[in-house]
């Protein structure tokens, strides 16, 4: 309610009154380990057989460490390795796409998609397309630390999340916070994070 308080400018270019900084979880190995284990438990409760997962894939940068930890827990649980990979953004004639640059997958692998924070599902969708384009098969679930989208599925893939916290998202032209005089800031810059969480 205070127009002096800035609000979040998301990677998509849209504005929001809230933001989840996943780095505060992924930078802590012990906390991420517990979160990844809990996600695996949630996937099993939803009906996913850990035996069928060949690889865990997430979009860079936020979901790389999460994919690694989830793959570790899958492998530990079934006593044989589960691999991980990640996709990275690239410009194309049609806009942004996700591709495998530094990692890859094998044809016919059964792949579990993961994401640290799901806002619109756009990065997950691009990652799914990259997996299919590389010859892999996507399992019918997406494992997420925080689902802020309000969605239950992303293109038919059921979202399994630790935290469900829908947050409003607006196009810049209709953002009510901008109209009140609040400034939109990229939260991932350290000085902006301090301003977003300051006292006003």
Q: Model confidence over 146-194: pLDDT tens digits?
A: 999 999 999 899 999 999 999 999 999 999 999 999 999 999 887 898 8
- Sequence-distant (≥ 6) Cβ neighbours of residue 159 within 8 angstroms: 118, 141, 142, 144, 147, 149, 151, 152, 153
- Name the β-bridge partners of 112: 56
> 86 near 140, Cβ under 8 Å?
no
> 104 near 131, Cβ under 8 Å?
no
List, in sequence order, the alpha helices (H) in 7-116: 23-26, 29-45, 64-78
> 54 near 110, Cβ under 8 Å?
yes
What is the rounded distance in angstroms from the CA atom of residue 138 to the CA atom of residue 56?
Answer: 10
Average pLDDT over residues 131-145: 97
* DSSP state letter for 189: S
What is the rounded distance in angstroms from the CA atom of residue 159 to the CA atom of residue 152?
Answer: 6
Tell me what the pLDDT averaged over the chain comes to: 94
- Residue 2 is predicted with a pLDDT of 87
Give the pLDDT band of residue 46 (cuts 50, 70, 90): very high
Q: How far is CA 199 from CA 43, 119, 178, 183, in A?
A: 39, 26, 19, 15
What is the rounded distance in angstroms from the CA atom of residue 83 to the CA atom of residue 53?
Answer: 9
- Predicted TM-score (pTM) of the model is 0.89
Q: What is the pLDDT of residues 53-110, one digit of tens each?
A: 999 999 998 899 999 999 999 999 999 999 999 999 988 777 789 999 999 999 999 9
Query: Across the beta sheet with 153-154, what order do the strands follow?
Result: 95-99, 83-92, 55-59, 110-118, 137-147, 157-164, 153-154
Tokens of 54: 């060949």
First to last CA, the chain: 10
């Amino acid at each position: 309610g205070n127009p002096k308080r800035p609000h979040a400018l998301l990677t998509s270019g849209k504005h929001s009154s809230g933001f989840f900084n996943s780095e505060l979880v992924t930078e802590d190995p012990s906390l991420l380990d517990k979160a990844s284990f809990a996600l695996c438990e949630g996937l099993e409760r939803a009906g996913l057989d850990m035996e069928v997962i060949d690889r865990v894939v997430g979009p860079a940068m936020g979901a790389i460490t999460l994919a690694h930890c989830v793959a570790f827990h899958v492998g530990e649980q079934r006593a044989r390795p589960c691999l991980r990979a990640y996709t990275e953004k690239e410009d194309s004639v049609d806009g942004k796409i996700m591709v495998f640059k530094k990692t890859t997958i094998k044809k016919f692998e059964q792949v579990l998609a993961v994401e640290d924070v799901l806002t619109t599902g756009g990065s997950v969708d691009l990652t799914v397309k990259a997996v299919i384009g590389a010859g892999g098969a996507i399992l019918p679930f997406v494992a997420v630390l925080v689902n802020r989208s309000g969605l239950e599925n992303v293109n038919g893939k059921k979202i399994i999340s630790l935290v469900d916290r829908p947050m409003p998202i607006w196009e810049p032209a209709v953002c009510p916070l901008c109209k009140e005089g609040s400034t939109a800031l990229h939260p991932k810059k350290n000085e902006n994070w301090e301003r977003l969480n300051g006292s006003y």
